[in-house]
Amino acid sequence: EPEVTQTPSHQVTQMGQEVILRCVPISNHLYFYWYRQILGQKVEFLVSFYNNEISEKSEIFDDQFSVERPDGSNFTLKIRSTKLEDSAMYFCASSAEDGRREKLFFGSGTQLSVL
Amino acid sequence: DQQVKQNSPSLSVQEGRISILNCDYTNSMFDYFLWYKKYPAEGPTFLISISSIKDKNEDGRFTVFLNKSAKHLSLHIVPSQPGDSAVYFCAASGLGGNEKLTFGTGTRLTIIP
């Protein structure tokens, strides 16, 4: 069964450093997303991406965040200068296999720890 | 701003019995609702969904009920199995055609053998 793949599974970084979280969405999907879950809190929307551009972003997704689809398969989330409060599990998701965009398929996540 | 609420953080159910997980929402613009299941160290897995034009959707052991007037939905699992032990998230979308999902805080379901 096709799946969304995320690497790395864990990332530890120092505050102020840049991190890039990587994702390979399901190959025939058209919509891509990043969500995050801070420990003990709900899963929160960060950004959606379609047709090589951001279609929506939340207030969390400030200028420190950026997304890119550098080739036909990868989808990345970059945090330019990490803060302690960026520590969370980051989930990549993709959708639109059957035209229903809200039916998202999630990866296993990258646990980001900012020290 | 809790537009989607799951008021029970945890629920324990005997194996073979029915599990009922509840979810309330406040935004009347939501028109599509989903349930996701999450195991530790894994991403959420899509379980079942329902459009606002329906009041029930069934898939095997899983049934979702939607009460639009009460802005309430529930997930029924029957019979409950040990493998159903996980965190269940209710999610909603709509808001004028936007595909962004708004999640609840989750309910941890434990099935007791």
Q: What is the mean pLDDT of each run of 10 residues along chain B (113 residues)?
A: 89 97 93 92 90 95 97 97 96 71 94 95
CB A19 within 8 A of CB A82: yes
Q: CB–CB of A45 and B100 under 8 A?
A: yes
Nearest partner of A90 among A74, A104, A73, A77, judged by Cα: A77
Q: Is A65 on the interface with B (CB under 8 A)?
A: no
* Chains A & B: contacts with CB separation below 8 Å: 54
Structure confidence at residue B82 (pLDDT): 95
Q: CB–CB of B32 and A102 under 8 A?
A: yes
Structure confidence at residue B31 (pLDDT): 87
Other Cβ atoms closer than 10 A to A44:
17
CB B47 within 8 A of CB B99: no
Residue with tokens 């420990």: A39
CA–CA dist A5, A47 (Å, integer): 18
CA–CA dist B55, B73 (Å, integer): 9
What residue ranges of chain A have pLDDT lower than 50? none
Nearest partner of B109 among B25, B34, B9, B23, judged by Cα: B9
Q: Is A45 on the interface with B (CB under 8 A)?
A: yes
